[in-house]
Structure 1
Amino acid sequence: MAKNKYFFPFIMVTSLFFMWGFVHNLDPILIPHLKKSFSLTNLQSSLVDSSVFIAYFLMAIPAGLAVKKYGYKKGIIFGLLLFAIGSFLFIPAADTGEYVFFLGALFIIACGLTILETVANPYVSLLGDPETATSRLNFAQSFNGLAATLAPIIGARIILTKGSSDEELNAMSESARQIALAAEASSVKGPYFVLGSIILLIAVIFYFLRLPEIEQNDNQTESKNVFQALRHKHLSWAVIAQFFYVGAQVCVFSFFILYAVEVAQIDRVVAADYLGWGCGLAFMLGRFIGVFFMRFIKSERLLAIYSIICILLCIPAIFLQGIIAVYSVIGIAFFMSIMFPTIFSLGIKGLGKDTEYGSSLIVMAIVGGAFLPLAFGYISDLSGTLQFGYIVTLICFVVILAFALKGHKIEKKELSNG
């Protein structure tokens, strides 16, 4: 995967993909948990995603500039420290019993994740042979998929199983009900304290770890500012495609438990198992299998094929009932698995000295995870069913298909300037 001298740094940086994947995939557990604890609508509960992904929009450019000035290692350490601080803030958030404070803690975590993703994605791409950059990034991102499998299963058992059932809550007086819900909201303190402690330990390890700095050896003129990097047409397309991809992924994963309970009439914990062993495992296997297929199929062609399949799978997710609809969504998780790293690699390909700027802009596009779930939640509330929310994801995959077919192409004048 990487050259021998890069092997251990590659392993350590790859571990970051697992860590941010784990915390991201606790959000689908938090959404039904906080929805119940604070009696939220689908639209209100989607603010969990908005508070996370708006941080990507606000922090991506500062993160890219900081990495360009101070280097990859310092960027990783600072990102981990913010990640840990945000995790610890779940304790006072639970003590106040206010939904907005949970959103604030998630925002701080996401600021740290923005820095980590701004650093780790291009670093893994550059840490070895340029010809295998897309496969290498897909491999690293596969551990994000492993986290997507484990986080819902573990999170459901330490968060969703706490507290009273809906029947028990309905039988309580209003004051008793409020006390029970407040206690339920507090059940997240322990898990996030443990998470913050682990992240802090990883930050200490990175402080003492020697990471090679990657030099860009090319004659390409550097953009004067981050937005000037958008003169690369394929980068502009990648930013748009990534906006819609992340929006689609967040809609699929974050609303999965609520969706499965509605269409298949199953328990929340059982739905969480489907999320982990179904969507999460499919997502992870899809990444590993995608890396294998890329040995024989060009990454952009595979991206186009997978986009078409996802579009087709949205149809039963919208119109069918029962477990078959749930399996359709699991299928979407499998086929969308390669999309983020593939769009990222194709977007920063050939950028040379603009790589850090391009990385910032593509990470900034993750803000799609803040806005598109709002559209998903609004349509679901308006129609009375989460199924019609999948109209949003279908549109997302159409945009990604356009990028795979045409938008990824590097213009000849750009190649001549490289």
Structure 2
Amino acid sequence: MANQNREDIREHKIPVVEKKYHLLFGFLTSIFFIWGFSLTMMDVLNKHFQTVLNISKSRSSMIQLSTFGAYAIAALPVGFFMKKFGYKPGIFLGLFLFAAGAFLFIPAANGVSFNLFRIAIFVLACGMATLETVAHPFIASLGNQQTSDIRINFAQSFNGFGGVIGPIIGSYFLLNSERQHLNDLVAVRQLYIIIGCFICLIAFVFFLIAVPKSVLHQNPEASVDTRSSGFGTIKALFQKKHFLFSILAQFFNVAAQAGTWAYFLNYGHEVMNFTDERSGYFFSFSIVLLVLGRFLGTFLMRYIAPYKLLAFFSFCNILMCILVAQGFGWVSFTALILINFFFSIMYPTIFSLGLKDLGKQTEQASSFIVLGFIGGAVFPPLMGFIANKDTAMAYYLPIICYIVIMIFGIKYPSLNKSFKNTFSQK
């Protein structure tokens, strides 16, 4: 029974991470930290480029188009790469592209070119997409499938920590009115040289970590017939309704996240009359709430089925968006901050629910779910056109996204034909 299953997890009869995987799990959580840092830095760059390069909000949203467009383009090739070569080479590929993109910031800054920056961001984001595509099934494989939700949410909590640090560092180096180079790109260049060197160091550390053969390619607990391959495998995969809906839910989830984050600093500056730097620090605080939400969500999932929690948090964000769009000063700004708290569990939970009961199709499924990141490329420009006139009104659009996610949570038991086994096995 589902209740017995949650009871077994609470009493640690089913370990969240097997002891032999602790070191590897620890390293993978650091990978989550890195791309969380980089992702929220993009939103600081968004505001910085509006000032330094004198571009509009809708044009600066091309940063999000480059970032999340890279996810959409890279996801499927990475899925095939991972299926052929395994998890560890996939991580190395992601780190290489990440570092290469960071170092491309040097010629972009020297040339004062927004288009060159978009190319650098695209390459860096291809690295992020590779890491994300590989890391989720990698994490899912480090233990019992019944605890995969908890593992992924815990690892994603460190993604949140990275998201907290990103705006703090970005605001200090790029938006601080007391620092030099506030109105040029020297600080951007210096910052990304440091980031590129750090990623190279991380790659060297990962080279020294041994990966057990049992998780080199796929979840050892595969429960699905895997004799089919190629087009037959993909066709069988898309017959899984819970997987198919998870792509749609992730599309709207990332769309809402990208749009909300892209104009957070603009909202603080225009609605609350904050400086850009102060808005950046509030953005960082909102990511702190996201981290707390993930830890709280991870704890609550020991008692509450993940799909139910997902539906409830989605409903809460519908209410928050309505408040934000009113522009009621601190009431609305508090609601804007709280969006990240309720957003906290959505990405990892949608991911883990979509991957359940897919067996050796998990690797390929992961790349298709990451394909949903195209939502982050589509939504910020749409919000930007509204934000050019009224930033607060732009926050009506994410309501559509949270309605779709809420429906996914409510309907999940009927979407996943193996639902009873997934949530009731001991």
TM-score, normalization: structure 2? 0.90
**C-alpha separation between the residues in 2 aligned to 1:271 and 1:220?**
51
Cross-structure match for 1:156: 171
Show CA shifts across 1:58-96 (max 9, x none): 110000100010010010011101100100110110001
SS in structure 2 at match of 1:412: coil
Cross-structure match for 1:5: 20
Cross-structure match for 2:127: 112
Cross-structure match for 1:235: 243
Native 8 Å contact 1:265 1:322 kept in 2: no
Equivalent residue letter for 1:224? G
Q: Answer yes or no: is 1:68 the counterpart of 2:75.
A: no
**C-alpha separation between the residues in 2 aligned to 1:219 and 1:19?**
33
Equivalent residue letter for 2:279? A
Cα RMSD (Å): 1.9
**C-alpha separation between the residues in 2 aligned to 1:350 and 1:200?**
36
Cross-structure match for 2:196: 196
**C-alpha separation between the residues in 2 aligned to 1:249 and 1:408?**
25
**C-alpha separation between the residues in 2 aligned to 1:156 and 1:331?**
20
Cross-structure match for 1:400: 405
> How do 1:77-88 and structure 2 match up within 5 A?
77-88=92-103
Q: 1:224 aligns with which of 215, 227, 230?
A: 230
Cross-structure match for 1:24: 39
The structure-2 alpha-carbon separation of the partners of 1:351 and 1:36, relative to structure 1 and needing over 3 Å to count, comes to same
Q: 1:340 aligns with which of 343, 347, 350?
A: 347
Show CA shifts across 1:76-123 (max 9, x none): 011101100100110110001110000000000011111100110111
**C-alpha separation between the residues in 2 aligned to 1:126 and 1:63?**
18
Native 8 Å contact 1:55 1:114 kept in 2: yes
Cα displacement (A) at 1:223: 4.8
TM-score, normalization: structure 1? 0.91
Q: Answer yes or no: is 1:324 the counterpart of 2:339.
A: no
Show CA shifts across 1:365-408 (max 9, x none): 11111001111112222xx1111111211111001001101146
> How do 1:259-338 and structure 2 match up within 5 A?
259-277=267-285, 279-338=286-345
SS in structure 2 at match of 1:116: helix
> How do 1:145-184 and structure 2 match up within 5 A?
145-161=160-176, 184=184
Cross-structure match for 1:247: 255
**C-alpha separation between the residues in 2 aligned to 1:354 and 1:240?**
18
Native 8 Å contact 1:346 1:408 kept in 2: no
Native 8 Å contact 1:162 1:187 kept in 2: no
Bigger share in helix: 1
**Structure 2 portions without partners, runs of 5+:** 1-15, 422-426
Show CA shifts across 1:184-226 (max 9, x none): 1232011100000000111111122211242444451345337
Equivalent residue letter for 1:297? I
Of stretches 300-309 and 370-379 in structure 1, the one that deviates more from structure 2 is 370-379
Q: Percent identity?
A: 38
Cα displacement (A) at 1:137: 0.3
Equivalent residue letter for 1:310? N
Cross-structure match for 1:131: 146
**Structure 1 portions without partners, runs of 5+:** 166-179
Cross-structure match for 2:385: 378
The structure-2 alpha-carbon separation of the partners of 1:164 and 1:211, relative to structure 1 and needing over 3 Å to count, comes to closer
SS in structure 1 at match of 2:344: coil
Cross-structure match for 2:50: 35
Cross-structure match for 1:169: none
